[in-house]
């Protein structure tokens, strides 16, 4: 609830938005961020999040790498442990259109799937690509392997005491993505990245929203909301996971 209030406050007081750092030809650019939340008293919990996003422009090519992780405890019991990675290479064959190939892997010790790995390829289109705004979308197809799991928890403490792994699922998938960023001033920025992967056994939707307010040329305060939806997780796990974060962001 506190994170939602902070996010709303920042959205109301911000009169402008800024995109992620613009890539530079032949040079890796991007940002790294880390966040930590702890509470004591009636509720004892702590969590840490970290992420790295970097990209490289090489003539008609653009290569992008994302790494993310989440670790949390509740009353000294581990309650969250997740990390993910995404690599995508785009080739621009016109100013507005590009082809892409992507590799994605996610590992979640407390979700309905121990891991999900996918390889996709397809076409993308840049609807807007200026210094003040970037909007692009992509459609593709590929292949995904998933490992569903059941979590066995202690009735008293709620701690996970066993994981029952189900057989791997292999399937053809269709993917869609939408990336948005906009710039109005040099101090405040907003971006949103949506990814959909749909197959016969499960549809995965992830959405990452971020709002950054610069404190210096390199450091910023960031607020994020990450949403993940699996259409058919093993019972009794929920379909939706959300993570709200406040981070220190370093641009390079």
CA 67 – CA 164 distance, rounded (Å)? 27
Confirm whether 166 is domain-assigned.
yes
Which of 229 and 156 is assigned the larger pLDDT? Answer: 229
pLDDT at 170: 96
Q: Is the peptide bond before 236 cis (omega within 30 degrees of 0)?
A: yes
Confirm whether 3 is domain-assigned.
no
Confirm whether 4 is domain-assigned.
no
CA 198 – CA 249 distance, rounded (Å)? 32
pLDDT tens digits, one per residue of 57-87: 999 999 999 999 999 888 788 888 999 999 9
pTM of the complete model: 0.85
Residues 152-185: b if buried by 16+ CB within 10 A, e if exposed? eeeeeeeebeeeeeeeebebebebbbebbbbbbe
pLDDT tens digits, one per residue of 6-17: 334 333 333 333
Q: How many domains is the chain built from?
A: 1
pLDDT, the chain, mean: 86
> Can you tell me the mean pLDDT for 88-108?
96
Confirm whether 100 is domain-assigned.
yes
Confidence of residue 183 (pLDDT cuts 50, 70, 90): confident
Q: Could you list the residue range(s) of the whole structural domain that residue 143 is in?
A: 17-209+227-251
pLDDT at 114: 92
Confirm whether 1 is domain-assigned.
no
Confirm whether 144 is domain-assigned.
yes
> Can you tell me the mean pLDDT for 157-171?
88
pLDDT tens digits, one per residue of 195-227: 999 999 999 999 999 999 989 989 999 998 999
């Amino acid at each position: 609830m506190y994170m939602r209030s902070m996010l709303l406050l920042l959205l109301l007081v911000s009169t402008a938005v800024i995109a992620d750092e613009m890539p530079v030809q032949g040079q890796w650019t991007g940002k790294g961020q880390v966040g930590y939340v702890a509470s004591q008293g009636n509720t004892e919990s702590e969590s840490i999040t970290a992420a790295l996003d970097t990209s490289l422009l090489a003539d008609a090519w653009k290569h992008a790498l994302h790494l993310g992780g989440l670790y949390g405890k509740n009353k000294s019991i581990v309650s969250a442990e997740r990390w993910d990675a995404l690599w995508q290479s785009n080739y621009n064959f016109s100013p507005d259109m590009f082809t892409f190939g992507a590799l994605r892997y996610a590992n979640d010790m407390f979700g309905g799937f121990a891991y999900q790995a996918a390889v996709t390829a397809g076409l993308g289109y840049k609807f807007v690509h200026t210094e003040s705004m970037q909007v692009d979308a992509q459609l593709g197809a590929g292949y995904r392997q998933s490992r569903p799991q059941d979590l066995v928890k202690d009735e008293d403490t709620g701690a996970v005491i066993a994981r029952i792994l189900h057989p791997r699922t292999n399937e053809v998938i269709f993917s869609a993505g939408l990336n948005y960023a906009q710039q109005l001033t040099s101090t405040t920025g907003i971006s949103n990245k949506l990814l959909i992967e749909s197959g016969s056994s499960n549809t995965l939707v992830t959405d990452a929203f971020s709002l950054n307010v610069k404190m210096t040329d390199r450091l910023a305060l960031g607020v994020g909301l990450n949403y993940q939806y699996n259409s058919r997780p093993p019972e009794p796990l929920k379909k939706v996971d959300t993570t709200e974060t406040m981070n220190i962001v370093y641009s390079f």
